[in-house]
Amino acid sequence: MKIILRDSDVFKNPQYDVPDKYEDRGTVKVIVQNEQGEIALVTNPIHGIFMLPGGGAESDNLEQEAIRESLEEINYHVEIIGTVGKSEEFRNRNAKHYLTTCFFARPLRKGNKDLRTEEEKDNGLEVKWFYLKDALKIMSDQAKMIQKDEVTFYNTSFNIIRDYRFLEKFNQKQEY
């Protein structure tokens, strides 16, 4: 199953017109679950929103990109166990067509240096670990905030909905 998101799926009152053309952008997301059953979520004090680790893909080797993003954002070397799903997001504001693949991974060992980007360091990006049921509640609460117009960041709103759907799909499968 592929998740498809448009402005009308994310926002109560979409503000941006559908563009004539979208530019493709490949991204990866990773559900990293440790031996205690906790899921890694990343956040920062700027928006206080929790999301799955991940980001823009710099190559076509998406598994390698997921491994790189995990090391960069949560400081863990990970082993990819499987694919949770894929999403397509048509973001009108910047005329971007996001193609995201979400992987499931297990942490192998902690990294030995901080590989966050300068922007991530400046924004105070940090990892927090939550049991799956708690991570789902956090994501559900954040999705409700979007519907109440309490999330003012356009791309973050898309990311919340997408990540929540990936986490729900992961929770339904649980046979990796």
Convert the pLDDT of each residue in 99-129 to its tens digit. Answer: 999 999 999 999 999 988 898 888 888 999 9
Q: Angle between the 132-147 and 154-173 helix axes, to the nearest 10 degrees?
A: 140
In this prediction, residue 1 carries a pLDDT of 62
What is d(CA 95, CA 73) in angstroms, rounded to the nearest whole number?
26
At 174 the pLDDT is 65
Q: pLDDT confidence of 152, banded at 50, 70, 90?
A: confident
Cα–Cα distance, 40 to 141 (Å, whole number): 17
pTM of the model: 0.93
Is 175 a residue whose pLDDT tops 70? Answer: no
Whether residue 160 has pLDDT greater than 70: yes
Match 């952008």 to its residue by tokens.
25
For 34-85, the pLDDT digits (tens) are 999 999 999 988 788 999 999 999 999 999 999 999 999 999 999 999 999 9
Is residue 4's pLDDT more than 70? Answer: yes
- What gap in Å lies between CA 100 and CA 119, rounded to an integer? 21
Nearest by Cα to 166 from 92, 83, 106: 83
CA distance 1 to 50: 24
C-alpha distances (whole Å) from 112 to each of 67, 74, 75, 115, 169 are: 15, 12, 8, 9, 32
Distance CA 132, CA 126 (A): 18
Domain 2-173 has CATH 1.10.3720.10: no
Quick one: pLDDT at residue 61? 97
